[in-house]
Amino acid sequence: MTAVLASKTSGAGVEARPGRRDVGAEIGALKRQGMSLAVKFSLCISALVLIISVLFGLVAIKLFQNKVRQEIILSGEQQILMLASLGRKAFSEVLDERAGPEETERRRRYYAGELKRLNADNSGRLLDAAVVTKTTPRRVVISMYNEPIEGSLDPPRPPSPNLVYGRSEDVTVWKGEYARIGPRKRALYFKTDLRDHPAVAYLILSTEEVEQEVKGLMVSVALFGLLFVAAGVALSVWLAGLITNPINILVRDMDIVSRGDMDHEARPHSSDEIGLLAVAFNRMTRNLKEAQERQREADRINSELNMAKEIAASLLPTKIPSMPGYDIFATYVSAREVGGDYYDFIPVDRTHLAFVAADASGKGIGAALIMANARAALRMLCVGNLSAAEVLSKTNAVVFRDIKRGTFITVFYALLDVPNRELTVSSAGHDPMIVYRAATGRCESYNPNCVAIGFDPGPIFDRNVKEEKVRLNKGDRVVLYTDGVVECMNERSEQWGFENLNAFVREHANMKSRDFVRALERALAEHQGSAEQHDDITIVTFRVE
């Protein structure tokens, strides 16, 4: 024949996947920045202890100071009332004009001695005590030092700003400074009126002893505070270590795992949240290890799938024959990454071209490998052989020796006599070939059927294999397919069916073969809807022009 074979090539590339970075490779290199958790924890506790110590000391000092002053005030009020009682008794005796000077002086010395004994009862805090008249000129009734009190030597009146202790019903108390006898000292002044007598009693108590006691207390509290703070710091360091050591151990365990040792397990050192964290970390590590193993297995499977894809792609023709008088096209849609369908165009001799549609049992890599074996045998045995039945018989004999028990291949083999427009067809358990007759507008089915390849080593297959001649005319269309076309299912598991395929062929037979195949793919997709693709789909068709 003088046919010119032109081709349309198609290729597919596999996208290169970058290598995965080792998980956690950078985590182990991280270094702590700044203070450790233990130091921060210790500082927080130490600061808290220091604040508590200072507050406690200040409160203690204030309470002690107030308590001592209240005791002084209470003692001073009692003493001035005693002084007033003593002053009422002395008022008539000391100021008795009938007594002589010697007797008056003796009486003054007596009462001065009584006041000094009062000073002894106050532990030396009594600075001065006196009873003076309210009349002018003022006269001393009794005095601790038995000296006259005149003018500016009179005890000062309480100015308003210094009324810090207020005034009771009988006694007025205020603070001030005393300098009449000896150096200037801070003091408390007590004043009360003598009932039934025009006189006033004054009592001055020193507060410097109180302040000295307060300072001593402050030193004691400071020393106690330092000891308390030191103990608190030591306790905080111990507690911080107790709390953070399990965390540090867990961090080291995480660092080991992050460096790639997925078999390392953290040992829980407590039953609290940190212990639970260690248990959770071990569980996470196991899950991560399993995930990595699954990922490695997936990578291995993907590698095998890529290899199987390359094998499956090499099974299919890389070009569609282009011959005068024939419009040819084909398609293949795998249900999985790798399918078990196969189609081919095989030049048998100068005037004959074989069309093959085949389907291996199962899906995936196994089906692809089975089909690769059958393809090699079929392409080798069909060259120069114009008997379709004999080609299938010899192919079965070769494939049966290597095929796994229980697996099989269905094949439809159509040998086209190109110049004479005649097909010699034979089938090994495959779906029938459809021929649309342009003259009548009807579809005819051809299927000289036999058992599938791989069921029988030869005798049964050879007795049952047949071939049939099919005459073609202008406008006729031939359709070969696999069962994935008629068994295409929708969401309700309803198959598309042979009748729908026949109806489609009748309606679209006059289209270009490429358009015919694309329209058939759309029809199957509309029927399938959102359902998963049930099986591989292969369509091979040509129209006589």
CB 305 within 8 A of CB 365: yes
Reading the block at residue 205, the tokens are 């108590």
Q: CA geometry: angle at 202 spanning 198 and 208, to 5°?
A: 170
Reading the block at residue 193, the tokens are 């009126």
Reading the block at residue 234, the tokens are 């030591």
Asked if the bond preceding 317 is cis, omega within 30° of 0, the reply is no
pLDDT of residue 9: 36
Looking at residue 194, what DSSP letter applies? P
pLDDT of residue 241: 73
Edge-first strand order for the sheet with 326-333 is 326-333, 537-544, 477-481, 433-437, 442-446
pLDDT of residue 320: 93
The end-to-end CA distance of the chain, in Å, is 17
The one-letter amino acid at 40: K
Nearest in space to 468 (alpha carbons), one of 445, 442, 447: 447
pLDDT of residue 161: 45
Reading the block at residue 40, the tokens are 């921060």
The Cα–Cα gap between 299 and 4 comes to 45
pLDDT of residue 193: 87
SS (H, E, C) 407-450: CCEEEEEEEEECCCCEEEEEEECCCCEEEEECCCCEEEEECCCC
pTM of the model: 0.53
User: Which stretches of the chain drop beneath a pLDDT of 50?
Assistant: 1-29, 149-154, 160-164
- Long-range CB pairs of 173-182 (<8 Å, 24+ gap) are 173/73, 173/76, 173/77, 175/207, 178/127, 178/128, 178/204, 178/206, 180/128, 180/153, 181/127, 181/128, 181/145, 182/127
pLDDT of residue 23: 37
The Cα–Cα gap between 413 and 426 comes to 5
